[in-house]
Amino acid sequence: MRTRSEIKKDAKSKLNAYWHVPVLTVLIVYLLEALILGALNDSMLSSVLQIIITTIASVFTTMLFLNIAKNDEFEKVEFSWMKVSSMQLLKCIVYTLLLSLATAMIQYITVLSSVLLSAIASIFVLVVEVYLSFSLLIILDTDAPIIDAAKQSINLVEGNFWKIIVFGLSFVGWFILGIIPVCLGLLWVLPYMGISFANYYLELKSNKPII
């Protein structure tokens, strides 16, 4: 299995080869969210629409990042690489909303409890999110049902939990740098992180086939 630095270096090379499509995609999502927030004046409707747009956008951008991660021949990246089937889109949206709802419920219940219980619940949520972190990629890559995708994600993470945590933390510096220039750097950093994570998924999949 390749090292963390090798996986990230490969992702960076694939992004830099044809950076226009992923960067423009992230920019479009930013603009849509900004337009909604500006037009609806931070109302409840604005928040709901922002969640819907963010959820749907994450599906298409994840598919784009996955296809770029698979682009070992460095073919020209096209916007069509974001294409997903209606069933894949539905499954991804349902999965994301269910996970968000479950997380919100746990946090809401524990915030009314002791500080210790709230801290334990936060750690539990973090662990669950790590173990399910590849579910969206698996749905888009294999068109697996939601439950199967979750099981397969758990299988991939098993034995690699702390490596995945360290992998995620390795982007903290990049994220901070991306925020500094009026957040414009995130237009490149976010695709870099997404492609790297998809690369990591493909690496784990090749060394530990999904069940």
* Number of structural domains found in the chain: 1
Is the pLDDT confidence value at 13 over 60?
Answer: yes
Write the pLDDT tens digit of every residue in 42-84.
666 666 777 788 889 999 999 999 999 999 999 999 999 999 9
Closest residue by Cα to residue 30 from 184, 174, 193, 181: 184
Phi-psi bin for 42: left (phi > 0), alpha (psi -120 to 50), beta? left
The answer for residues whose C-beta is within 8 angstroms of residue 67's C-beta and 6 or more apart is 77, 81
| pTM of the predicted protein model | 0.90
Domain around 112: 4-207
